[in-house]
């Protein structure tokens, strides 16, 4: 089990689907999404709430509101607000960080979530909402993590995730996101570090403890870039080492939240 770390959500860097209505002297061109990340830990299926917001202008004070709901005893739980964080220091991209402890056996509250963002330039506030429904996609198994020393590159392969539209790989060092792959429709992808560095000039050398995360995405519709649900599996390894899954699945070690799934 690795130390507590952030598993940052997937950012869809693409044309914004929705542009807010213009006010008299102010506007904010932005969009947001809320969805569930799903992992396996042994026989348990675990869930964590994730969210992101991104804009053409700089934003500040980005806040997510979780809808109210009735708990198991019928008691009404009032809506709750939580602050979001900048993605790798960018004022235009904000995320809801997710740690290992955020994954539980309870599915996140189903309903309409809202995000409020402030236009940094003039202080005007804007709000958007997105509905979170219950939809489960399960992670699969890593087949191999193969290191290429000549290119300082990893090639990852895994089993198909049933229902996934596409996949992405993330690389972490401790709490820091170092790099991410492009989206791939096939269950294989690669991460390469130029001059041994990633985002924010984070360096990785041979022998450093790192974590790979592979996510599989299901979108809200065939024409939407918003995620409906996301399967996640992670594997801890030292940079420069390789991994190959046992040929017989019955001999594979039990899955955990930090390795294999």
3-state secondary structure at position 19? coil
Q: CA angle, 32 as apex, 30 and 35 as ends, to 5°?
A: 170
List, in order, residues 6 or more apart from 16 with CB less than 8 Å away: 29, 30, 31, 54, 55, 56
- Spatial separation of the C-alpha atoms in residues 68 and 161, rounded to whole Å: 32
CA neighbor of 257 nearest in space, from 230, 235, 229, 231: 235
Per-residue model confidence (pLDDT) at position 64: 98
CA neighbor of 117 nearest in space, from 83, 87, 89: 83
Which of 20-24, 43-47, 52-56, 140-144 bottoms out in mean pLDDT, i.e. has the lowest? 20-24
Identify which has the larger pLDDT, 25 or 100.
Answer: 100
Encode pLDDT of 129-188 as tens digits: 999 999 999 999 999 999 999 999 999 999 999 999 999 999 999 989 999 999 999 999
Question: Phi, psi at residue 146, to the nearest 5°?
Answer: -110, 125
H/E/C letters for each residue in 209-260? EEEEEEEEEEECCCCCCCEEEEEEEEEEEECCCCEECCCCHHHCCCCECCCE
Query: Could you tell me where the DSSP H helices lie in 16-66?
Result: none
Say yes or no to pLDDT of 12 above 60. Answer: no
pTM over 0.85: no
Per-residue model confidence (pLDDT) at position 248: 63
Q: Is 172 exposed, middle or buried (CB count within 10 Å of its CB: 0-12, 13-18, 19+)? A: buried
Residue 116 to residues 32, 96, 113, 187, 202, Cα–Cα distance (Å): 10, 13, 10, 36, 31
Mean pLDDT, all residues of the chain: 87
Both tokens assigned to 96: 């809801």
CA neighbor of 176 nearest in space, from 208, 198, 156, 154: 198
Encode pLDDT of 192-244 as tens digits: 999 999 998 999 999 999 999 999 999 999 999 999 999 999 999 999 999 99
Residue 130 to residues 35, 65, 215, Cα–Cα distance (Å): 9, 11, 21
Do 64 and 39 form a contact (C-beta atoms < 8 A)?
A: no
Per-residue model confidence (pLDDT) at position 7: 40
Per-residue model confidence (pLDDT) at position 25: 55
Bridge-based pairing of strands 125-132 and 69-70 is: unpaired
């Amino acid at each position: 089990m690795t130390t507590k770390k952030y598993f940052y959500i997937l950012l869809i860097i693409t044309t914004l689907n929705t542009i807010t209505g213009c006010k008299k002297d102010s506007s904010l061109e932005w969009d947001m999404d809320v969805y569930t990340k799903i992992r396996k830990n042994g026989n348990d299926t675990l869930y964590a709430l994730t969210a992101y917001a991104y804009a053409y202008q700089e934003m500040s004070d980005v806040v997510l509101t979780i809808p109210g709901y009735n708990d198991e005893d019928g008691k009404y739980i009032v809506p709750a607000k939580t602050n979001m964080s900048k993605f790798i220091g960018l004022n235009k991209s904000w995320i809801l960080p997710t740690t290992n402890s955020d994954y539980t056996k309870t599915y996140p509250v189903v309903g309409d979530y809202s995000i409020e963002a402030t236009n940094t330039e003039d202080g005007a506030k804007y709000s958007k909402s997105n509905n979170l429904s219950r939809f489960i996609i399960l992670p699969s198994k890593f087949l191999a993590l193969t290191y290429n020393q000549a290119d300082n590159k990893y090639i990852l392969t895994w089993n198909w995730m049933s229902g996934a539209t596409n996949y992405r790989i993330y690389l972490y060092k401790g709490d820091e996101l170092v790099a991410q792959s492009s989206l791939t429709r096939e269950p294989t992808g690669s991460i390469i570090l130029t001059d041994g560095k990633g985002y924010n000039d984070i360096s990785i050398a041979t022998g450093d403890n790192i974590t790979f995360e592979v996510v599989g995405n299901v979108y809200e519709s065939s024409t939407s870039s918003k995620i409906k649900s996301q399967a996640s599996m992670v594997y801890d390894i030292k940079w420069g080492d390789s991994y190959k899954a046992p040929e017989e699945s019955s001999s594979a070690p039990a899955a955990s939240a930090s390795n294999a799934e």
